[in-house]
Amino acid sequence: MLALGGAAGVALWSPLPTQAQAGPAVAPQPLAALPLAAAPAPLVRGLPDFSSLVEAVGPSVVNIRTTEKTKVSQGGEGDEEMQDFFRRFFGAPPGAMPPGAMPPGAAPAPRRGGPPRGGNGPDEETNRGVGSGFILTPDGYVMTNAHVIDGADEVYVTLPDKREFKAKVIGADKRTDVAVVKIEASGLPAVKIGDVNRLKVGEWVMAIGSPFGLENTVTAGIVSAKARDTGEFLPFIQTDVAINPGNSGGPLINMAGEVVGINSQILSRSGGFMGISFAIPMDEATRVSDQLRSLGRVVRGRIGVQIAEVPKEIAESIGLGKPSGALVRAVEPGGPADRAGIEAGDIITRFDGKTVEKSGDLPRFVGNTQPGAKSSIEVFRRGQSRQLGVTVAELEPEKVKTALKPTPSAPSPVGALGLTLSDLNAEQKSELKLKGGVRIEKVEGASARAGLNEGDIILAVANVEISDIRQFEAVVAKADKSKPISVLFRRGDWAQYALVRPTAR
């Protein structure tokens, strides 16, 4: 048999002799102990005990209840599934709710917009939703999600000691989903803010909140990923902590009892927890909350470009190497980027000395820059890097742009790529704000397979800027037809790349 010994090694014992074995029977003798290879110290020693964290941070976590003035339905409308849940687990009769739960007619969780429930009764303040939050300062500033308080007529904050306060909304930023409210109280237990940069994937974290209106609920899990791009200005923290409707706005807490994020979103097909939750990093949230408290709004920088990711094949085709940076698809006429000389088709690789690894990095870098600041920017254009300077402006609401449809001049066929092209006249160039380019009048074969369409404006081929059809023909004639040919084109207001494979199968 195999006996597992102590740390010194494993002792192997010889079996009892069988009748087929010659010689007298002998008692089993231990063989020499075989030393084990030095075992590494265990990386994980048991499961963590979160009780001390709950005692330390729990008093700083609040319940946020929002109300709206609506017409109350005369018949009473409830969520049957939620009523059944409370009946089974709390013994509440139909129509009755346990303390801390929302009444049947209330939304079961904070919702982003949507029509209020109503009827034909009188105006009345009714519960709209339930969320969570945490105390930022002893004098009553509370942080939560913007979507928790969005559209509410009144906001109420309930402390763990059951004191309830009507809160004043200081400010909310929908782009980051961060909001700050204020209650008239003092001597409150404020949370400690942790360093998100020190947070590691696989690290234990804990959440406290009010899922489905059940206050002071504690859940725990690990950090699944960092810098997960699901928002324009935020690299989210992904966890497997159980987060459900009502947890929104509550804190994500590390093992040191520090808040490292705000629980904000879940990835779910059912509306309930499915193992993937997202939290707003606390460094980003703090930056936003500081501006909300001082200005009542968030001021961000902008340079006036529309961007996209750089595909791997495109990066290799144009000589960029690895697929990094932000591809400029359009430049706002007269905007900061336009004045700086940035063009559609450029790939922005660095901003103010910071490397743009992916397109989502650029909005954060620019957004965190003070409007009016002069920043350095590096672009990759036609196989070369260029250094430019840009004066950052203040971010404004996006303007709706109308696609331009120039009238073609006399078309000329270019058979190598399956294209029929026309030159742009002076009027068309002026309207499109282009120095050159050719318009596609007809597309088939390899170019059609690459996704080019009639009406697209070709700006560059094989990293060579195109001024007219003659230059286009010359560049294509010299290109290696056995390899994909990169084509930079503009469709409406958007610029993008395509790879045309003349020998595509």
* Active site residues per annotation: 147, 177, 248
Give me the DSSP letters along 323-370: S-SEEEEEE-TTSHHHHHT--TT-EEEEETTEE--STTHHHHHHHTSP
Q: Does 250 belong to an annotated binding site?
A: no
Strand 192-193 relative to strand 258-266, pairing: parallel
The reply to whether 153 sits in an annotated binding site is no
Residue 480: CA atoms inside 13 Å, Cβ hemisphere, count?
A: 4
In angstroms, the CA 237 to CA 278 distance is 5
Residues making up the chain, counted from first to last: 505
Find out whether 177 is annotated in a ligand binding site: yes
Q: To the nearest 10°, report the CA torsion of 301, 305, 307, 313.
A: -130
C-alpha distance from residue 330 to each of 102, 225, 337, 340, 341 (Å): 48, 32, 10, 14, 13
- Decide if 28 contacts 12 (C-beta within 8 A): no
Does residue 334 have a known ligand-binding role? no
Distances 286 to 130, 182, 280 between C-alpha atoms, Å: 23, 16, 10
Buried b or exposed e, range 203-238, using 16+ CB within 10 angstroms: ebbbbbbbbbbbbbbbbbbebbebebeebebbbbbb
Sorted by sequence, the CB contacts under 8 Å of residue 411 that are 6+ apart come out as: 420, 421, 422, 441, 442
Contact 219, 210 (CB under 8 A): no
324 among annotated binding-site residues: no
Instruction: Cite the annotated binding site by residue number.
Output: 147, 177, 246-248
Please report, in range form, the residues annotated as the binding site for substrate: 147, 177, 246-248
